Amino acid sequence: MWAYVVRRLWQMIPTMLGVVLLVFVLFNLFGGDPAYVLAGKISNPEQIDNIRRQLGVDQPYHVQLLIFLKQIVTADFGASWSTNERVSHILATRLGPSLTVLVPLLFLETLIAVGLALAVAYVRGSLTDRMVMILCTVGLSISILVYIIVFQYVFAYKLGWFPVQGWGDSFWENLVRYASLPIIIALVVSIAPNLRLYRTFVLDEINQDYVRTARAKGVGENRIMWVHVLRNASIPIITHVMAALPGLLIGAFLLERFFSIPGIGREVILAVERSDFPVIKALTVYVAVATMLVNLLADLMYKAVDPRVQLK
């Protein structure tokens, strides 16, 4: 297994170089001149030249690429163009609030969706199954913005059960008080598509020969569903969960923006609005690295779930 891990890590190097080259080309050829962005509307050529010299964008492209590679290796992307705060400090302080929302969300939505998928597959073809699928289709048709507005109005404004916005210094206060409503909204939005997908995975396994053999041997339906079927259906479920994991940090930007949660997603919106290239480039690189590492972790989890899987 360790040989496989080392080989996969080695294969990440050319992939990462391709990502770095693509990010560099997009930002330098199509992102515009950052000196004009920082100088504002009232500027002069001397000021523009001074800013370009300070940023290093007056250097040849190959020199700028080497500087970018050095920033990635040292994890030092400089300072934000908007706030003059170190990019590393921005990401370190914004990661905690995002994880406070996303880790419980990932755990709850996976657990609930898998449980419901098994329960619905257990009564497959019945009226209950059809009604659940209709509700999932309706839920998929409603935008997350509608859920945010309705839930904020009803549960925060009218009933006063949750604060509309805010974030504190205590982890438990943030988790119980400020993150509860965003987590509930994200659960309502995510369970419908996940339930439909996981139900398909389960139904694919139910029709396999080993399930018919287990039934012929007198194995109980509950054991078939929760042990045999779940174990084999867990591989595509793991693939789906792990593939969506890196994007969760960026995908929660609407919740973080509407609830004023100082997380990574909200920082992405602010960086785009301000044309804060150092922050955007750092986030792009880190998400690419996280995606490759999560894919490796998913392959290792396949082996843990199903010993028949061979890592080659």
Higher pLDDT, 247 or 276: 276
When mean pLDDT is compared across 77-81, 98-102, 258-262, the lowest value belongs to 77-81
Q: Residue 249 — pLDDT band, cuts 50, 70, 90? A: low
Say whether pLDDT at 251 is over 60.
Answer: no
> How large is the average pLDDT for residues 19-26?
83
Average predicted confidence (pLDDT) for the chain: 80
Say whether pLDDT at 238 is over 80.
Answer: yes
> How large is the average pLDDT for residues 53-61?
70
Give pLDDT tens digits for 144-196. 888 888 888 888 888 888 888 878 788 888 888 888 888 888 888 888 888 88
Say whether pLDDT at 44 is over 80.
Answer: no
Give pLDDT tens digits for 83-119. 778 888 888 888 888 888 888 888 888 889 888 888 8
Spell out the CATH class of 88-305.
Answer: mainly alpha
Q: Which residues make up the CATH 1.10.3720.10 domain(s) of the chain?
A: 88-305
Higher pLDDT, 35 or 221: 221
Say whether pLDDT at 29 is over 80.
Answer: no
> How large is the average pLDDT for residues 247-251?
64
> How large is the average pLDDT for residues 266-275?
79
**pLDDT value of position 250:** 63
**pLDDT value of position 47:** 66
Say whether pLDDT at 41 is over 60.
Answer: no
Higher pLDDT, 169 or 54: 169
**pLDDT value of position 40:** 61
**The amino acid at 308:** R
Q: What percent of the chain has pLDDT over 90?
A: 0
Q: Residue 36 — pLDDT band, cuts 50, 70, 90? A: low
**pLDDT value of position 37:** 63
Q: In the 3-class helix/strand/coil scheme, how is the chain assigned residue by residue?
A: CHHHHHHHHHHHHHHHHHHHHHHHHHHHHCCCCHHHHHHCCCCCHHHHHHHHHHHCCCCCHHHHHHHHHHHHHHCCCCECCCCCCEHHHHHHHHHHHHHHHHHHHHHHHHHHHHHHHHHHHHCCCCHHHHHHHHHHHHHHHCCHHHHHHHHHHHHHHHCCCCCCCCCCCCHHHHHHHHCHHHHHHHHHHHHHHHHHHHHHHHHHHHCCHHHHHHHHCCCCHHHHHHHHHHHHHHHHHHHHHHHHHHHHHHHCHHHHHHCCCCCHHHHHHHHHHHCCHHHHHHHHHHHHHHHHHHHHHHHHHHHHHCCCCCCC
Give pLDDT tens digits for 191-226. 888 888 888 888 888 878 888 888 888 887 778 877
